[in-house]
C-alpha cells in the first residue's frame, strides 16, 4: 500500500527538506535535515518544527497534528532522496526525546517491508548496534543503502 | 508551485519534491549541543565505529 506523504521542498544537495504538517493544529512548518558529522560518511538525521522568525528548528515541540503516519512516511521518503545523492553514506538517527525515538521505531516498523528492500537498518541496544528487529525498542538507528 | 519545479526523484516511492534554492543556506545551520552529544555518546559508548568499519570493509570487498 502506498503511504500518504507530504509534498517536500529541498535544497540542491537534498540534505534539507521542508514540508507543512496539516491537521487540527493548523499548518506546521517542519524541517528534516541530514547533517554531516565528524565521522567521514556518517550523517545525522534531525527533524523538528521550523520557526521562520528565528530561523531555528525546535527539536522538542510536540505538534499532535493527528498526522503521525503521514509525517513518518514523509521522513522515510526523504531517505530515498538523500541517498540518491550520497548512496554510500550512513545515516544515524536518534530522537530528541525517548518518545520521539519511539516514533522513529514505529515508523520503521510500519514501513519495514518497503524499507528493507532498499536499506539495511541497525538498532542500538545497550551500547551495541545490531541488525534491526521489529518489536525491539532501540535507542538509536543507523540506516545504509543496500 | 509550477509543474516544472516538481521533480519526481524516485518513481517507485513517488516522493514529490521541489528544489528550493533558498534552502541551500539551511545546510549550514548549527545543531543544538544535545544533538552533537548524541553522536559523540554513540561514538564513545557504543560499537558505532566498529559497525562503520565493518560496513566499509564489506563494501570494499563486494565485487
- pTM, to two decimals: 0.89
H or E, element range at B8: strand B6-8
Q: Using a CB-CB distance cutoff of 8 angstroms, which residues of chain A are in contact with residue B17?
A: 7-10, 14, 17, 81
CA nearest neighbour of A61 among A110, A18, A28: A28
Q: For A90-135, how does the pLDDT look when each residue is reduced to its tens digit (9 = 90+)?
A: 999 999 899 889 989 988 988 888 888 889 999 999 899 999 999 8
Give the pLDDT confidence score for residue B4 in this predicted structure.
46
What is the rounded distance in angstroms from the CA atom of residue B62 to the CA atom of residue A67? 41
Give the pLDDT confidence score for residue A111 in this predicted structure.
85
Residues contacting A56, CB < 8 A, separation 6+: A50, B29
Q: Using a CB-CB distance cutoff of 8 angstroms, which residues of chain B are in contact with residue A44?
A: 31, 35, 38-39
What is the rounded distance in angstroms from the CA atom of residue A40 to the CA atom of residue A35? 12
Give the pLDDT confidence score for residue A93 in this predicted structure.
95
Give the pLDDT confidence score for residue B11 in this predicted structure.
40
Give the pLDDT confidence score for residue B15 in this predicted structure.
59
Q: Which of A3, A6, A7 should we substitute to test contact with B (largest number of B Cβ atoms within 10 Å)?
A: A7
Using 50, 70 and 90 to split pLDDT, how confident is the model at A2?
low
Give the pLDDT confidence score for residue B62 in this predicted structure.
66
Give the pLDDT confidence score for residue A39 in this predicted structure.
93
Note whether B19 contacts A5, CB cutoff 8 Å: no
CB nearest to A11's CB, from B24, B32, B43: B24
Minimal Cα–Cα distance from A107 to chain B, Å?
A: 16
What is the rounded distance in angstroms from the CA atom of residue A80 to the CA atom of residue B57? 23
Using 50, 70 and 90 to split pLDDT, how confident is the model at B5?
very low
ipTM: 0.82
Using 50, 70 and 90 to split pLDDT, how confident is the model at B58?
confident
Residue-wise DSSP of chain A: -PPP---EEE-TTS-EEEEEEEETTEEEEEEEEEEE-SSTTEEEEEEEEEETTTTEEESS-----S-HHHHHHHHHHHHHHHHHH-TT-EEEE--SSHHHHHHHHHHHHHTHHHHHHHEEEEEEETTEEEE--TT---SEEEEEE-
Give the pLDDT confidence score for residue B9 in this predicted structure.
41
Minimal Cα–Cα distance from A90 to chain B, Å?
A: 8
Whether A44 and A91 have beta carbons less than 8 Å apart is answered as yes
H or E, element range at B17: strand B16-19
Amino acid at each position: 500500500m502506498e503511504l500518504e506523504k507530504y509534498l517536500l521542498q529541498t535544497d540542491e544537495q537534498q540534505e534539507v527538506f521542508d514540508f507543512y504538517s496539516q491537521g487540527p493544529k493548523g499548518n506546521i512548518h517542519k524541517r528534516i535535515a541530514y547533517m554531516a558529522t565528524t565521522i567521514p560518511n556518517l550523517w545525522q538525521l534531525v527533524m523538528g518544527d521550523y520557526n521562520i522568525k528565528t530561523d531555528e528548528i525546535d527539536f522538542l515541540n510536540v505538534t499532535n497534528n493527528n498526522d503521525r503516519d503521514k509525517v513518518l512516511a514523509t521522513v522515510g521518503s526523504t531517505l530515498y532522496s538523500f541517498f540518491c545523492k550520497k548512496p554510500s553514506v550512513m545515516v544515524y538517527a536518534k530522537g530528541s526525546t525517548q518518545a520521539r525515538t519511539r516514533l522513529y521505531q514505529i515508523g520503521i516498523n510500519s514501513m519495514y517491508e518497503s524499507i528493507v528492500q532498499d536499506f539495511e537498518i541497525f538498532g542500538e541496544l545497550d551500547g551495541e548496534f545490531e541488525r534491526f528487529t521489529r518489536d525491539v525498542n532501540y535507542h538509536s538507528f543507523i540506516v545504509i543503502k543496500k | 508551485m509550477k509543474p516544472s519545479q516538481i521533480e519526481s526523484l524516485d518513481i517507485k516511492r513517488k516522493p514529490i519534491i521541489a528544489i528550493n534554492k533558498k534552502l541551500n543556506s539551511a545546510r549550514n545551520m548549527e545543531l543544538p549541543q544535545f544533538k552533537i552529544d548524541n553522536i559523540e555518546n554513540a561514538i564513545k559508548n557504543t560499537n558505532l565505529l566498529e559497525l562503520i568499519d565493518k560496513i566499509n570493509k564489506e563494501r570494499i570487498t563486494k565485487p
